[in-house]
Every structure is written in structure tokens, then in C-alpha cells.
Amino acid sequence: MYTGPFSKQQEADLIQCLQQGNADAFEQLFNGYKRPVLFFIQKFLKSDTESEEILHDVFLKVWQHREQLDPAIGLGGYVHTVARNLVLNQIRQKATINTLNQEWGRRIDVHSHTVEDQYISAEYEKMAHNAIAQLPPRRQEVYQLCSVEGKSYDEVSKQLGISRDAVKDHMVHARRFLTHFLRRYADLTLLGLPVGASLIKFFLTELP
């Protein structure tokens, strides 16, 4: 459990203001807790980008569920629980993707490609691009610049004239959508249906 730089009464007052939708109170709580929360996340995730995105998600949940917070208890226990659960989900998700990638790599090494295999692989490659095409136009643009062209959030922010937080938000939602798409097709393998290795490889290389 984390403790913020506030007295118990100060934190209770801030949470009460937050529950009324006060953005200044939210910012104070964020600034007070972001360092210990980020430190906790970074102990488990090596990527600074992933860690910042998890931090963003933690406080997004704080805002979304602000009316359910208990001022008498404080925020430390809540943000610790949310951060822990999000980190565990991220670790499980990466483990699932890595397992799929290893399995398909093994199959590629063992089995030669037939014309049918190549056709299926090409079809799933199209599905991958179709998944990206389903993103909103601005999100597609941000994803293309960050993931495909390898530009930083700051570079994309300047190029598109939007805030860095807006760029990050687009990437968080794009990655979630594409990962869910991958998982949906990965589930089909459990039913014995063919999922092209190129589709899995595509998402693994495209996701930042």
C-alpha cells in the first residue's frame, strides 16, 4: 500500500473534491502518487512506455470510479490493487503472445509450406491490415507514425499538433484493440482452425 505526501485529512478532502469531479484535486492526487505507483510498475515491466501506459490506466480507473472511493480509507490501497492487477494482466498477455509465437515458429520449422498454407497466411495478413483499418482515422494515423515509422510520442505530438497525452491515449486504445483482435483469432487455434503465423508475427512486430 502506498502513502501519498498528504495528511490523512488532506487526502480525505482531496478525494471528496475528486468525487465531485474536481480536476485540480485529481491532478494533486496524481502528482502525489504517480512516483511510487510508477516505481512499483517498473519493477515488473522493463519497458518505460508500457509502464507509463499502465500508470495512465491506473489513474483513468481512479477517475472513472471516483464516486466509489472512500475518503476515510484514502487512495493508496486502491491504486496499489489496480496497479498490481493491470501489471499481472500485462504479464499474462505477453506470456500468451510469446507462447503462440514460439508454437508457430516450431510449426514453421517442422512443416514445409504448401500452396494452401501460403494462401491462408496471405489471407490472415489481410485480416491484420483490416483490423488496423477499423481504427478511427486519427488513431490509425497515430499508430502508423508511432509503430510503423518508429516516431516518438513527442515527435508525433508536434507533427499532428496534438498533446503528448493524446498521442499516448490513441496508442493505448489502438494496442488494446489490436491485441484483442489477435486473441480472438488465437482462440480459434484451440478449436483446430488455422491461424496464419504471419498474422501473429505481424502483431508482434507492429505493436510498440
User: 36 and 83 share a domain?
Assistant: yes
User: 124 and 189 share a domain?
Assistant: yes
Looking at residue 13, its pLDDT comes to: 95
- Would you write out the chain's pLDDT as a tens digit for each of its 208 residues? 566 688 899 999 999 999 999 999 999 999 999 999 999 998 888 778 888 888 988 999 999 999 999 999 999 989 999 998 888 888 777 665 555 555 555 554 444 445 445 544 555 566 667 778 888 889 989 988 887 777 888 899 999 999 988 998 888 888 788 777 766 654 444 334 444 444 444 444 433 3
Q: Give me the long-range contacts of 138-144 (CB less than 8 A, separation at least 24).
A: 138/170, 139/170, 139/173, 139/174, 140/174, 142/167, 142/170, 142/171, 142/174, 143/170, 143/171, 143/174
Is the whole-model pTM more than 0.75? no
88, 104, 136 - which closes a domain: 88
48, 72, 88 - which closes a domain: 88
Q: State the residue range of the domain holding 58.
A: 8-88
Q: Is residue 3 part of a domain?
A: no
Q: At what angle do helices 76-110 and 164-189 cross, to 10 degrees?
A: 50
Q: How many domains does the chain have?
A: 2
Give the CA distances from residue 104 to residues 95, 99, 186, 200, in Å, rounded to whole numbers and listed in that order.
Answer: 14, 9, 11, 8
Q: Residue 126 contacts by C-beta under 8 Å, 6 or more apart in sequence? A: none
User: 187 and 119 share a domain?
Assistant: yes
The CATH number linked to 51 is: 1.10.1740.10
User: 81 and 121 share a domain?
Assistant: no
Q: Is residue 100 part of a domain?
A: no
Q: Is residue 30 part of a domain?
A: yes
Q: Residue 171 contacts by C-beta under 8 Å, 6 or more apart in sequence? A: 53, 142, 143, 146, 147, 153, 208
Looking at residue 62, its pLDDT comes to: 93
